[in-house]
Amino acid sequence: FFYFPETHGISFRIQISVKEVLDTDVLLKLLFHLPVNYPSTVPDISVTSDQLTRAQCMDVREKFLEEAKKHLSEPMVHDLILWVQQHLKDVIKQSAAVCNEKTTLSKGTEDGIWMLLLHLDHMRAKAKYVKTVEKWASNLRLTGRLMFMGKIILILLQGDRNSIKEYLILQKTSKVDVDSSGKKCKEKMMRVLCETELQSQHKRFQTFEVKEYSAPEELQKEFETAGLATLFSEFVPPLLK
């Protein structure tokens, strides 16, 4: 459990493995947000999984919310977890049936747009480092932001999943910076904060830009404009401490 205390209730994440769905174990990552008047109100739930498509995750979320309404005014999180472990197979089967009825024309464009949020500890050779990141983003057709706010350095990328993976390899294996004695060195202090498929509420960045922000509010606004308020509230505040 990861708790994010908020004035609007609490949020926590749960990871569960559901056995033998689609002949493989499915790892579901669930983010529950319990409003202040829970359980009189249903929790907000977000569902992600590397083994499921975005459409399947959305279907699972919808079914979760339907099920939650049956348990109003009683604590329900535990019951919902048990429910999804028993019924995930059926939800996915239904989802596949609906999916097959629709034309698969949009698949190439919608499917496979991913988002990556990285945190870098420092850049000693800043100008060279920034140029390198811009070049990689351009070559791999990735859009997003390289963001500086005080000592915080974040890289937010969107694009084809394979390109995102390729970017990560470049970032980890290339000599992108210099050490304290001025020798070229690899990036050892990078953390992947989030890697996920782009959801319908997220906006696509059209370009890759390097930006400096003078206050956390400015940075937060950048995320909110892109429909990424949740991403900001989940990963950035701990870095500001």
Domain segments of the chain: what residues? 10-97, 113-239
Cα 114-209-126 angle, rounded to 5 deg? 110
- Nearest CA to 140 out of 208, 72, 215 is that of 208
What architecture does CATH give domain 113-239?
A: 2-Layer Sandwich (3.30)
Q: Which helix (H) or strand (E) holds 144?
A: strand 143-149
Q: How confident is the model at residue 138 (pLDDT cuts 50, 70, 90)?
A: very high
Query: In this structure, what token pair is assigned to residue 157?
Result: 């990328």
Q: What is the pLDDT of residue 130?
A: 95
Q: Is the pLDDT of residue 107 over 60?
A: no
Question: Would you say the C-alpha torsion 67, 68, 70, 75 has a positive or negative sign?
Answer: positive
How far is Cα 64 from Cα 69, in angstroms, rounded to an integer? 9
Tell me the percentage of the chain whose pLDDT exceeds 70: 88
Q: What is the pLDDT of residue 97?
A: 54
Which of 53-57, 127-131, 191-195 is the least confident region? 53-57
Cβ pair 129, 210 in contact under 8 A: no
Answer yes or no: same fold for 10-97 and 113-239. Answer: no
CATH class of 10-97: alpha beta
Q: What is the pLDDT of residues 65-86, one digit of tens each?
A: 999 999 988 889 999 999 988 8
Q: Within a 10 A sphere around the Cβ of 103, how many other Cβ atoms?
A: 7
